[in-house]
A and B are shown apart, each in its own frame.
Chain A
Amino acid sequence: MAVTTMPQTKSKSGFRRSLLEPFLDFVRRDRLALIGILIIVSFTLIAVFAPFLAPHDPRDMLRREDGTLARLDPPSLRHPFGTTNLGRDVFSQVLIGTRAALLVGFLAAFFVTLIGTNIGIIAGYYGGWVDSLLMRLVDILYAIPLIPFVIIMMALVEPSIWNVIWGISLLTWRTVARIIRSQVLSVSQRPYVKAARMAGCSDFRIMYYHIAPNILPLALLEMAFAVGWAITAEASVSFVGFGDPTVISWGQILHMVFLTGAIRTAWWWVIPPGLAIALLLIGVFFTARSLEEVVNPRLRRR
């Protein structure tokens, strides 16, 4: 059986054990989670070794054996996913594109979780006007749609992958903050938090040493979802043509197909990058689902 209590011990080793144990247990029992983690690990390996794995330089305009430009060649042994209208190898482009997706996905999710969790803890712990102020800010941010926001931001600043990451992070923390805050509200009422306060612990110590470990599983779950949004957002923004022009990403590959009208014939240019996005996100969501069962034991299989 899985360990159902959340970590409440203060010793460091006990903390790590009880935090990871239910998760590892689920990976062992939950096949979807295992598949999810395998998918993420595979994509990470592809991203790291992309330059060695790619058979061609993704920007090279390749020629056929008779010397003509390999324009829109269907898949073959030489080009597993065919070529683009300029004779570029789609397979190599998709491999290299993994880097942008993972970079944006994980970095943006990290910032989102970092900002969201801290604001959530502060709002939930202090309550009162601090809470109202921060939550009104969250309410207002909720009204701003993410993808249009990033598109307009990219139109105003120099389109670069870092600006895409900032654009996503600046807005998406709202969800994490709201969820973490409500959890902190309930955790702060627990006896051991009151005991810590009686013992004279500083606010900082209570917030980050006593409360934070209890909301960590929830924060991790939100981070997994944030990876999903960030990857989708980056792909969407690149697809409509506001991505970093110097970085090859899956969204940008699809932008080129759409722009050149090759969508009429070149199915080999359309399917692989989209499938790569879907596959990576499935890996993320499978993992998130198993985390969700750790966080919310009522969903578990009986």
Chain B
Amino acid sequence: MRKYIVRRLVQMIIGLFLVASVTFLMFRLLPGDPTASLLDPAFTVEIRETIIERFGLNEPIHVQYIHYLQSLVQGDFGRSFYYRRPSLEVLGDKIWNTLILMLSSMIIAYGIGVIGGMILSWKRGSKIEWGGITLGLFLRSAPMFWTGMLLIMLFAFNLGWLPHSGMRTPGYEAATTFAKFFSVDFLRHLLLPMITASLYFLGTPLLIMRNTMLETHGEDYIELSRAKGLSEWRIMILHAGRNALLPVITAGALFLGQALGGQVVVEYVFGWPGLGREIVLSAQRHDYPVAQTAFLFLAFMVMLMNLVADLFYSYLDPRVKLK
């Protein structure tokens, strides 16, 4: 077990190194001048050269690459062209904001989706099943940014119940770190983006759970439970449901990666100060160090989540041996 984790961590580090290299190449080799945003055309030639030298942009590409890797290892992710601060500092809090939004909507979506999927498979062939599948497919089809806009129109502008943008009311100062994330003000801001994302995420667990539940129906142990006289609910949740859960978790782990990327538009619509919104903003400002760092962090988070999901999977199903 420990051996497995160590091997996976080593693989992850190699993977990160490769993603970092791909990112480096992408930013240097694609056409487009990374210095354009950094340099004001009004600068004199000397100032221009000083700045280019300070950011190390005058050196040949392989030297830049080695410097880049050296600084990554030292935890230096470069200085933001726009904020004029280390990009790690710019992104620090935003990582947590992204995680809070994603995990809370994922938990809600999986909770409702798994239970909904069980019910759909149990009501096979009925109108409920048909309606549930159609609803699941519709939720997966409606783009998140559009659902978000509809919710903003309804709850923020028409009814005026919830804020339409941001994470905290301007001027609001939290007394403690705990209050920062558990205050009424924060939760009110979280509610709409969370609902938007979980509506979209809901379709996947709902449909997969239904499909895998259907496969358990003919199994002997279900017949046996029925013969024992257990109630249908008990069979559905404790016997069939438990066994059908595994593929949902595997799919969920892969889906997490997709969700992290897809969440960009939710953060953008709701002005949620997370990694995804920062990627859009830094791409608009041509602030490459920040875009690059945010991108690396997203990749790192996806890898980490896949590892955690694999470990969780082997815990749930002892037949799966990790080698």
| Residues in A lying within 8 Å of B, measured CB to CB | 32, 139-140, 142-149, 151-158, 228, 232, 235-236, 239-242, 251, 254, 257-258, 263-264, 267, 270-271, 273-274, 277-282, 284-286, 289, 298-299, 301
Which of B77-85, B170-178, B224-232, B294-302 touches A? Answer: B294-302
How many chain B residues sit at the interface, stated as a range, is: 35 or more
Shortest C-beta distance, B323 to chain A (Å), equals 15
Task: Give the contacts of B117-150 with A (CB-CB under 8 A).
Answer: 124-125, 133-134, 137-138, 140-147, 149-150
CB distance from A142 to the nearest CB of B (A): 6
Once A148-B261, A156-B27, A263-B153 are accepted as A-B contacts, the answer to whether A143 and B143 lie under 8 Å apart by CB is: no
Query: How many pairs, one residue from A and one from B, have CB atoms within 8 Å of each other in the complex?
Result: 156
**Given A144-B302, A145-B302: 18 more A-B contacts, CB < 8 Å:** A145-B257, A145-B258, A145-B261, A149-B295, A151-B264, A151-B283, A152-B279, A157-B32, A232-B143, A236-B265, A239-B143, A239-B268, A257-B149, A258-B149, A277-B146, A279-B141, A281-B141, A282-B137
Q: For B86, what are the chain A residues with a Cβ–Cβ distance below 8 Å?
A: none
Q: Across the interface, do A157 and B31 meet the contact criterion of CB distance under 8 Å?
A: yes
- Distance of A265 from chain B, by nearest CB (Å): 8
The 9 tightest CB contacts between A and B, nearest first, are A145-B261, A274-B146, A281-B141, A155-B283, A156-B30, A278-B142, A143-B299, A147-B261, A285-B137
Contact B141 A277 (CB under 8 A): yes
CA distance A274 to B291 in the complex (A): 28
B191 at interface by CB-CB < 8 Å: no
- Name the residue among B19, B265, B276 with the largest chain A CB count within 10 angstroms: B265
B interface, CB within 8 angstroms of A: 11, 15, 18-19, 22, 26-27, 30-32, 124-125, 133-134, 137-138, 140-147, 149-150, 152-153, 157, 211, 214-215, 254, 257-258, 260-262, 264-265, 268-269, 276, 279-280, 283-284, 286, 291, 294-295, 298-300, 302-303, 306
- What residues of B have a CB within 8 angstroms of the CB of A286 in the complex? 137
Please give the distance in Å from A136's CB to the nearest CB on chain B. Answer: 8
Task: Determine the residue in chain B with the shortest Cβ distance to A158.
Answer: B31
Q: Specify which of A145, A149, A156, A285 is in contact with B140 (CB 8 Å cutoff).
A: A285
Overall SS of chain B's interface: helix
Whether A155 contacts B284 in the complex (CB less than 8 A), given A140-B15, A285-B140, comes out as yes
CB-nearest residue of chain B relative to A282? Answer: B141
A157 adjacent to B30 (CB under 8 Å): yes
In the assembled complex, the Cα of A68 lies from the Cα of B139 at a distance in Å of 41
Q: Are A147 and B299 in contact (CB under 8 A)?
A: no
**Are A274 and B157 neighbours in the complex by a CB distance under 8 Å?**
no
- The reply to whether B303 and A143 contact each other, CB–CB distance below 8 Å, is yes
Nearest-CB distance from B47 to chain A (Å)? 26
Partner of A298, one of B18, B215, B302: B215
Bound CA span A301–B22, Å: 46
Known: A263-B149, A274-B149. A152 touches B295 (CB 8 A): yes
- Which residues on B sit within 8 Å (CB–CB) of A139? 11, 15
Q: Which residue of A lies closest to B254 (CB)?
A: A142
Q: Are B299 and A145 in contact (CB under 8 A)?
A: yes
Shortest C-beta distance, B136 to chain A (Å), equals: 9
Q: Which residues on the B side are within 8 Å of A274 (C-beta)? A: 142-143, 146-147, 149-150
B141 lies within 8 A of A278 (CB): yes
Distance in angstroms between the alpha carbons of A144 and B149 in the assembled complex: 27
Measured between alpha carbons, how far is A275 from B302 in the docked complex, in Å? 31
Residue contact A235 to B283, C-beta cutoff 8 Å:
no
- Supposing A152-B291, A257-B149, A258-B269 touch, asked if A242 and B142 sit within 8 A by C-beta, the answer is no
Complex: chain B residue closest to A265, CB-CB: B157
Q: Kindly list chain B residues whose C-beta atoms are within 8 Å of the C-beta of A157.
A: 30-32
Could you pull out 11 A-B pairs where Cβ atoms are within 8 angstroms?
A: A140-B22, A147-B261, A148-B279, A148-B294, A148-B295, A155-B283, A239-B145, A240-B264, A254-B146, A257-B149, A299-B214
Please report the C-alpha to C-alpha distance between residue A222 and residue B147 in the assembled complex, in whole angstroms: 26
Given the known interface contacts A142-B306, A148-B298, A156-B27, the answer about A240 and B265 at a Cβ–Cβ threshold of 8 Å is: yes
